[in-house]
A and B are shown apart, each in its own frame.
Chain A
Amino acid sequence: MTLTRRTFPGFAALFSLPLAWVLLLMVVPYAIMVAVGFWTRQFPLFYPDFQFGNYAQILADPQYTTVILRTLKIAALVTVCALLLGYPLAYFLVFTIRSQKVRNLLYMSVIVPLWVSYLLRAYTWKIILGTDGALNSLLVSTGLVSAPLDIFLYNQTAMVVTLVYIFVPFMVMPLFTVLDNIPRRLLEASEDLGVGPFMTFWKVIFPLSLGGVVAGATMTFCLSFGDFVAPVLVGGPDGTMVANLLQTQFGAALNWPLGSALATLVLALVLILLQLSSRLDRAGRIDL
C-alpha cells in the first residue's frame, strides 16, 4: 500500500508514538541485552567484547541447567494443572449454564482476581499453606492431624499450586471464548447423527477448541516460566527458577554479561515455544 501525500501526516501522527514506544522500550533494550551477553566481566566492571564465554559457562555449569530444567518442569506442571482445572470450568460455563446472566457473573468471578495485585494473590497462599495457616488450622480442628504440619509450604508443590491459582484465568479466558464460538448447531447435528454427549465432546467439541487450548497453554506456560515471585514466597530451597537466577546475576552477583546471556537464552526458549504454538494453532485453525 502506498501512502498518499494527503494521508501521510495523519498516519505519522497516529503511529509515531506507538512506533517510538516499541523502538525505545522493546527493540533497543533487547538489542542491548543481546549485546551485553557477549561482554566480559572483570569484577566489578564489564567490558564490551564479543565472546561466547558466558554461554559456555551457563551450559557447562550444572547449577544453571538444573534451574532451567526445573523451570521448564514447573511451567509444564502448572500448564497441565491449569488446563485440567480450566477446561471443565470453561465447558461448564459455556454449555451447562443456561442463563446468560449467571454465566457472565461466574466468568467475571474467574477474571476478577486479576484485578487484585499479583503479589497479594501469591502471598495468600503463604497464609493458606503455612504452619499456622488456614489449611493446618482446618486439619487440626477437624482432628485429622494432631499438630500443624510444615509439609505444605516451601516446596515445588506449593509453587505449582500458587502459580496455577494465579494464572488459571489466562487458561480459562481463551477456552471460554473458543468454546462459546462453537455453533450449538454442530452439537445438535452430532446428536442427530446418533452420537451421544460423551463422543460428541471428543469428536466435535474438543477438536474445535484446540485453538483455545494452545493459546491458554502458551500463555500459562510462558507466564509461569518467567515467574520469580512464587519461588521467593512459597518455594523452598530447591525452588529457584530461572527468573530468580537472572535477578541474582543483575543484583547480588553483579554479573550483567552472564545475566544477559541467560536472559537471551530464556528469550530464545520462549520465542521457540511461541513459534511452535502458533504453528500448532495454524494447523488446527478452522473456519467455523
Chain B
Amino acid sequence: MTSSPIVALDGVAKRYGAFVALHETDLAIAEGEFVTLLGPSGCGKTTTLRLIGGFEQASDGRIAIAGQDVTESPPYRRPVNTVFQDYALFPHMSVAENIGYGLSVRSGRLEKTERRRRVAEALALVGLEGMADRRPGALSGGQRQRVAMARAVVRRPRVLLLDEPLSALDVKLREGMQVELKRLHRELGITFLMVTHDQTEALALSDRIVVMREGRIAQIGSPTDLYDHPATPYVADFIGAANLLEAEALGREGDVCAFRLVNGATLRSRRREAAGATTGSRVTLGVRPERMMAARPETGAANALDCIVMERLFHGDCLRIELAPEGGGKPLFAELARTALPATVSAGSRLAVHIDPDDVMVFDAGGGK
C-alpha cells in the first residue's frame, strides 16, 4: 500500500470489563478497496466494524478515517455510512424519506431540488424507481436491503460499512445481491468494508479478506492468497475446506519433504512452507477435498493414501466421498468429479486417493488447533 490508507486502526482494542472483544489490532485499508472481515460469531469482526462506525468506543488505540483521527468522534461526525444487518429502516418514513433522511440535516443540508435529485439517483442506483412512496413495512426483504444500501450511499461516504448485509436474505436472492454489491462497488468507486461469516461471500466479493478469530486477525490476504496459502490450519479450514492430518516430518528428499501420518503412511509435500519442517517435528498437514484424486488401490501411485469408502454423497456437480484411512486416523473428505469414480465404488470399497505434492499444505508443529 503506497498511498495513505482511508481507514487505519492503530493498536485498537475493545474490552467489556474482563472480556476482550478485540485484542490490540492494526489494520490499514486502501481507498477504493473491498475488504471483508470474515470469521465465526464472536471473533470480533462486528466489534471492529462498530468501532469504525463510531457505535463503540475503543478501549485502546487510535482510529483514523481519511487521515482524520476519529477515535473520539460520534457516528454523526464520521465520513462513513453503514448498511445495518437488519437494515434499520425508519418505519414511520417512506422509502424516499428514509433515503433523504441524511440529506436533510445540518451536516448534509442540501437544496430541496438537489436533495430530490440525489434521492432519485440513489433509488435508480438500486433499481427501486417506483417505490419512493412505499413504507418499509410494505417491501420485501430484498427491497429493504436495497433501500438500506441507497440510504447509506446517498451521502457519498468515504467508506461504506456493511454489517452482514446479505445474511437476512434467502440463498437465491443473496447470490443476486452479491452481483449487485460488486456492481455498486465498481460504480461508486468508494471503499467497502463488509462483515460476514459466509466465506463464499467473502471470496466472491473481496479484494482482500481479513480472517478473524477470537478477537484477533488470523490472516489478511487476497481471496486467492488465503485459499492457496493459508497461514494456519484454522484459516485453511475456514476459507474453503481442508482435511487436517497430524504428521511427523521425516526429512527432505530433494525439493520434497516427507511426512509420516499416524497410520504409518507417508505423504510428500513440495510446497515452500514444507522446507521449514525439521526432521522429527510434529506438524499438521492440510489437503483440500477438491485436490484429491481417485487412484486404484495397490497400484503404488505416488503420494497416495489407501482408504475405505464410508459414504458416497452425490452433490450434483461432484461426488463427496467420506474416507477412512486404512490403518487408522481421522476420516477424510474428498471431492471428486462425477466421472472420476466408477459407480461400483460405494460404501465399503477400497479406494486410494492421490494427492499432488504441491497440494499438501504444511502447518507448523503445535498448530493443529
Complex: A192 Cα to B101 Cα, angstroms: 11
Complex: A17 Cα to B105 Cα, angstroms: 58
Complex: A195 Cα to B82 Cα, angstroms: 13
In the complex, A9 has a CB within 8 A of chain B? no
- Rounded to whole Å, the gap between the CB of B104 and the closest CB of chain A is 8
In the complex, A31 has a CB within 8 A of chain B? no
Residues from chain A with a CB closer than 8 A to the CB of B82 are 188-189, 192
Binary CB contact string for chain B from 57 to 78 against chain A (1 if under 8 A, 0 otherwise)? 0000000000000000011100
- Rounded to whole Å, the gap between the CB of A248 and the closest CB of chain B is 47
Chain A, 236-277, CB within 8 A of any chain B CB:
none
Given A286-B137, A287-B91, CB of A193 within 8 Å of CB of B55:
no
Complex: A195 Cα to B359 Cα, angstroms: 53
Binary CB contact string for chain B from 316 to 327 against chain A (1 if under 8 A, 0 otherwise)? 000000000000
In the complex, B169 has a CB within 8 A of chain A? no
Complex: A92 Cα to B19 Cα, angstroms: 28
Given A188-B75, A192-B81, A193-B151, CB of A183 within 8 Å of CB of B88:
yes
Residues from chain B with a CB closer than 8 A to the CB of A288 are 91
Residues from chain B with a CB closer than 8 A to the CB of A204 are 90
Q: Which of A189, A208, A287 contacts B84 (CB 8 A)?
A: A189
Complex: A194 Cα to B107 Cα, angstroms: 6
**Contact across chains for B92 and A208 when beta carbons are under 8 A apart:** yes
> Of residues B55, B80, B90, which shows the largest number of chain A Cβ atoms within 10 Å of its Cβ?
B90
Residues from chain A with a CB closer than 8 A to the CB of B89 are 189
Residues from chain B with a CB closer than 8 A to the CB of A194 are 76, 102, 105, 107-108, 155
In the complex, A278 has a CB within 8 A of chain B? no
Q: Which of B76, B86, B91, B101 contacts A196 (CB 8 A)?
A: B76
* Chain A residue at minimum C-beta to C-beta distance from B102: A193
**Contact across chains for A189 and B90 when beta carbons are under 8 A apart:** yes
**Contact across chains for A286 and B102 when beta carbons are under 8 A apart:** no
Residues from chain B with a CB closer than 8 A to the CB of A279 are none
* Chain B residue at minimum C-beta to C-beta distance from A195: B105
In the complex, A6 has a CB within 8 A of chain B? no
Given A194-B107, A195-B76, CB of A189 within 8 Å of CB of B91:
no
**Contact across chains for A193 and B91 when beta carbons are under 8 A apart:** no
Complex: A201 Cα to B101 Cα, angstroms: 13
In the complex, A207 has a CB within 8 A of chain B? yes
Residues from chain A with a CB closer than 8 A to the CB of B39 are none
**Contact across chains for A195 and B102 when beta carbons are under 8 A apart:** yes
* Chain B residue at minimum C-beta to C-beta distance from A284: B92
Q: Report the count of interface residues on A (CB-CB < 8 A).
A: 21
Given A185-B86, A188-B55, CB of A208 within 8 Å of CB of B81:
no
In the complex, B53 has a CB within 8 A of chain A? yes
- Rounded to whole Å, the gap between the CB of B86 and the closest CB of chain A is 6
Given A193-B155, A204-B90, CB of A188 within 8 Å of CB of B84:
yes
Given A194-B108, A195-B105, A196-B76, CB of A186 within 8 Å of CB of B90:
yes
> Of residues B81, B86, B105, B155, which shows the largest number of chain A Cβ atoms within 10 Å of its Cβ?
B105
Measured as residues with beta carbon below 8 angstroms from the partner, the interface class of chain B is 20 to 34
Complex: A191 Cα to B82 Cα, angstroms: 10
* Chain B residue at minimum C-beta to C-beta distance from A204: B90
Q: Which of B91, B107, B152 contacts A208 (CB 8 A)?
A: B91
Complex: A160 Cα to B42 Cα, angstroms: 53
Complex: A246 Cα to B55 Cα, angstroms: 57
**Contact across chains for A192 and B92 when beta carbons are under 8 A apart:** no
> Of residues A189, A199, A203, which shows the largest number of chain B Cβ atoms within 10 Å of its Cβ?
A189
Q: What is the total of A-B residue contacts with beta carbons within 8 Å?
A: 68
* Chain A residue at minimum C-beta to C-beta distance from B108: A194
Complex: A193 Cα to B75 Cα, angstroms: 8
**Contact across chains for B75 and A287 when beta carbons are under 8 A apart:** no
In the complex, A131 has a CB within 8 A of chain B? no
Binary CB contact string for chain B from 97 to 116 against chain A (1 if under 8 A, 0 otherwise)? 00001100101100000000
* Chain B residue at minimum C-beta to C-beta distance from A185: B88
**Contact across chains for A185 and B137 when beta carbons are under 8 A apart:** no
**Contact across chains for A190 and B81 when beta carbons are under 8 A apart:** no
Residues from chain A with a CB closer than 8 A to the CB of B90 are 186, 189-190, 204
Chain A, 29-61, CB within 8 A of any chain B CB:
none
Complex: A22 Cα to B173 Cα, angstroms: 52
Given A203-B101, A204-B90, A286-B137, CB of A192 within 8 Å of CB of B108:
no
- Rounded to whole Å, the gap between the CB of A268 and the closest CB of chain B is 33
Residues from chain A with a CB closer than 8 A to the CB of B75 are 188, 191-192
Chain A, 174-200, CB within 8 A of any chain B CB:
183, 185-186, 188-196, 199
**Contact across chains for A185 and B84 when beta carbons are under 8 A apart:** yes
- Rounded to whole Å, the gap between the CB of A169 and the closest CB of chain B is 27
Complex: A194 Cα to B81 Cα, angstroms: 9
Residues from chain B with a CB closer than 8 A to the CB of A199 are 105
> Of residues A208, A284, A287, which shows the largest number of chain B Cβ atoms within 10 Å of its Cβ?
A287
Complex: A203 Cα to B89 Cα, angstroms: 13
**Contact across chains for B155 and A286 when beta carbons are under 8 A apart:** no
Residues from chain A with a CB closer than 8 A to the CB of B76 are 191-196
Chain B, 258-289, CB within 8 A of any chain A CB:
none
Residues from chain B with a CB closer than 8 A to the CB of A189 are 82, 84, 88-90
Having A189-B90, A199-B105, one finds 16 other A-B pairs with CB under 8 Å, namely A186-B90, A188-B55, A188-B84, A189-B88, A190-B90, A191-B55, A192-B80, A192-B81, A193-B76, A193-B102, A194-B76, A194-B105, A195-B76, A195-B101, A196-B76, A288-B91
Interface pairs (7), CB distance under 8 Å: A189-B84, A189-B88, A189-B90, A192-B55, A192-B80, A193-B155, A194-B155
A interface residues with partner B (beta carbon < 8 Å):
183, 185-186, 188-196, 199, 203-204, 207-208, 284, 286-288
B interface residues with partner A (beta carbon < 8 Å):
53-55, 74-76, 80-82, 84, 86, 88-92, 101-102, 105, 107-108, 137, 151-152, 155
In order of increasing CB-CB distance, the 5 nearest A-B pairs are A193-B102, A189-B88, A185-B88, A191-B75, A194-B107
